Structure 1
C-alpha cells in the first residue's frame, strides 16, 4: 500500500530544512562553526590529505624495513600497508578530480 504524502507535514519539513540551510548573519569562526555543528571543508581536506600522507610514509617505512631484512616485519603487513596507502591515494585523487570538475562547471555558468 502506498502511503499518501501530507502536504502540511512536507511544508513543515521543507521550512525546517530551509532554516537550517540559510546562511548565518555573521561569518563563522572556527570555534563558532564547531559549536553550530558546521564543518570547515578546508580543515577536513587538510586532515584527509595528512592521513593519506601518514599512510604512505608508514607503507614506505615498512617496505624499507622488510627490504633490509627486519625480522619483525612480515610481507603480509607490508602488502596490507601498501594497499591501504594506494586505496587512500586513489580516493583522494578521485575527490580532487570531482572538485576540479565542479569548479569548471561553475566557471562555465553564465551570470
Structure 2
C-alpha cells in the first residue's frame, strides 16, 4: 500500500483565525473573533493527549487479543509519537522565543 494515498485521511490543522487583543491576555478572544494563542495551545495539547490515548487503546486491544490488526495499532502509535515530537518542537521554539524576549533591553 502506498503511504502517499493515506495523506487525505489525515485530519487537517485548523488555521489560525485571529490574534489576541492583548499580548499579555492569552485567554481573551482574538480581535477577529478567533481563538487566542493560549486557547490554541490548550487545544493542541488536548489533541496530542487524545491521539496518545487512542494509541494506548489500540496497543492494549492488540495485546489483549481484542484486535488482530497490528497495522492499525502501529499507525496509531506512530501518529501519537509524531504528535508528541511536534508538540516538543513547538515547546522548544516557545521557550527560545521567551528567552529572546527576556534578553531584550527596554
Question: Matched residue pairs, number?
Answer: 84
RMSD: 2.4
Unmatched 5+ stretches in structure 1: 1-20
CA distance in 2, matches of 1:106, 1:34: 22
CA distance in 1, matches of 2:60, 2:42: 27
Distance 1:73 1:37, change over 3 A: farther
Pair 1:50-2:37 in alignment: no
1:56–1:85 CA contact under 8 A, matched in 2: yes
Alignment equivalent of 2:69, drawn from 39, 62, 74: 74
The structure with the largest helix share of the pair is 1
4+ residue segments displaced more than 3 Å: none
Unmatched 5+ stretches in structure 2: 1-18
* Structure ID, larger Rg: 1
CA distance in 2, matches of 1:79, 1:64: 12
Q: CA deviation at 1:34?
A: 5.5
Q: What are the within-5 Å matches in structure 2 for residues 1-111 of structure 1?
A: 30=28, 33=29, 36-70=32-66, 72-111=67-106
Q: Residue 16 of structure 1 aligns with which residue?
A: none
CA distance in 2, matches of 1:106, 1:59: 37
Q: CA deviation at 1:38?
A: 3.9
SS class of match (2:65):
coil
Deviation by residue 1:57-110 (Cα, 9 ceiling, x = unmatched): 01011101101111x341000000001100010001000000000000111111
Q: TM-score, normalised to structure 2's length?
A: 0.69
Q: Residue 17 of structure 1 aligns with which residue?
A: none
